[in-house]
Amino acid sequence: MQVKELAAKIQPELVELRRYFHQHPEPSWEEVNTANRIAEELAKLGISVERKAKTGVVGTLKGTRPGRTVALRADIDALSIKEETGLPFASQNEGYMHACGHDAHITCLLGAAKILSQLKDEIAGTVKFIFQPAEELAQGAKKLVEEGAMDGVEGIFGLHVWGDLPAGKISIDPGPRMASADRFVITIEGKGGHGSAPHQGVDAVVVASALVMNLQTIVSREVDPLDPLVLSVGKIVSGDRFNIIASQAELDGTCRCFNPEIRKKLPDMIRRIAENTAAAFRAKAKVEYYFMCPPTINDESLAQLAKEAVKKLYGEDSLVPMPLVTGSEDFSYYSEKAPAAYAFLGVRNPEKGASYPQHHSRYTIDEDALQVGAAVYAQFALDFLNSDR
């Protein structure tokens, strides 16, 4: 029996698992029950289990013959959102919800483990199943890498269910797929005074306002318009009272881009504009820049391997194009250790109520896509181990 048929056969089990995880969402670094259930399911299959990164789970399946090592990854944490789907299997953990599809990711990877454990005799090498905590905080992948989850891995594959794609369709292309996500904090030091005498102070509110506008010239005048860049100030805190000139202001923002070279230059660009804008108003500015998630960039060879796996399973019509995503994914940390490929699996089906975007309180999926995700994970692993890419 081939991968596609095995995936179809376990579809009822996958639905049951997905609904269990959906009912029991847990926040980042607190995925205790989730991790325990994952470990239990892997142990049933005879797959060895390691616990890493506090609530992470790494399963290892060795084939009957020696060979290379491939990793498959799923994230497991939920969001702090009150669920409003009205589903019979809605969240039982008040205030938390699998509104980003991580319940489906867990399920698809467990499905792949079920499939591959039945095909152990065909495996030449080792498959690692990485169930990662704290993706929503962009911290779990880095911690797992630090604790050795990627040691010996020669290629890794991950996928994300996507509410904008029709159920069962898959997008996987080489090159950049998701943006980096960094944070900057700018502190402005002015001089306080009475609101009736602004000339006696240095107004931090005015400086902050000018800086919000001036920072956008990085996007419009310093970066090639064919290289996407988002720079957003999401938070400004300043002032104590309506009739006092503010002495201090703090701007908190994010940068997103796909080009690693541009990303490296952003701290100096922001610092130059912040310091000189502040100086123009007789104030001072201090910039703190935090590199968080690198961009998710697909290895060309592995992306092609994944495409071929999809075509082998469901035909060329199942592959669809998709625009770049300016959201980010800490899957990118794995690609710093080994060639990586990342796919998007469509779960949209308005007839089943699956028409809301990720992070929406009414988000859900067309569960028919679960077997597709499980099959693609499994087929990629088999093809990788049987190829020389």
Contacts of 65 (CB under 8 A, 6+ apart): 123, 124, 125
Read off the CATH number of the domain in which 241 is found: 3.30.70.360
Identify the CA nearest to 108 among candidates 32, 10, 5, 30: 10
Considering the domain architecture, whether residues 46 and 98 belong to the same structural domain is answered as yes
pLDDT of the residue at 225: 95
Domain-terminating residue out of 293, 319, 340:
293
What's the distance, CA 389 to chain centroid?
25
Q: How many domains does the chain have?
A: 2
Q: Are residues 299 and 274 in the same domain?
A: no
Q: Are residues 118 and 214 in the same domain?
A: no
List, for residues 157-214, the tens digit of each pLDDT value. Answer: 999 999 999 999 999 999 999 999 999 999 999 999 999 999 999 999 999 999 999 9
pTM: 0.93
Beta carbons within 8 Å of 214's beta carbon, 6+ residues apart: 273, 277
Report pLDDT for 387.
Answer: 82
Q: Note whether 188 and 220 are same-domain residues.
A: yes
State whether 376 and 246 are in the same domain: no
Residue 102 and residue 113 in one domain = yes
Range of the domain at 240: 181-293
Assess whether 146 and 83 both reside in one domain.
Answer: yes
What is the C-alpha R_g of the chain? 24
pLDDT, tens digit (0-9, with 9 covering 90-100), for 41-95: 999 999 999 999 999 999 999 999 999 999 999 999 999 999 999 999 999 999 9
The answer on 118 and 63 residing in a single domain is yes
Identify the residue whose tokens are 């000139």: 245
Domain identity same for 7 and 53: yes
265 and 159 within one domain: no
**Residue 145 has which token pair?**
């890498």
Continuous H helices in 239-326: 260-280, 300-314
Based on the domain organization, do 205 and 228 belong to the same domain?
A: yes
Specify the pLDDT at position 345.
Answer: 98
Closest CA to 383 of 307, 300, 299, 297: 307
Phi, psi of 277 (to 5 degrees): -65, -45
10 Å CB burial of residue 209 (0-12, 13-18, 19+) is: middle
pLDDT attached to residue 1: 66
Residue showing tokens 């890493």: 52
CA atoms within 13 A on the CB side of 226: 0
Q: Of the residues 262, 293, 324, which one is the last residue of a structural domain?
A: 293
Q: Are residues 265 and 356 in the same domain?
A: no
Domain boundary among 293, 308, 342: 293
Q: Which stretches in the chain have pLDDT values below 50?
A: none
CATH code at 41? 3.40.630.10
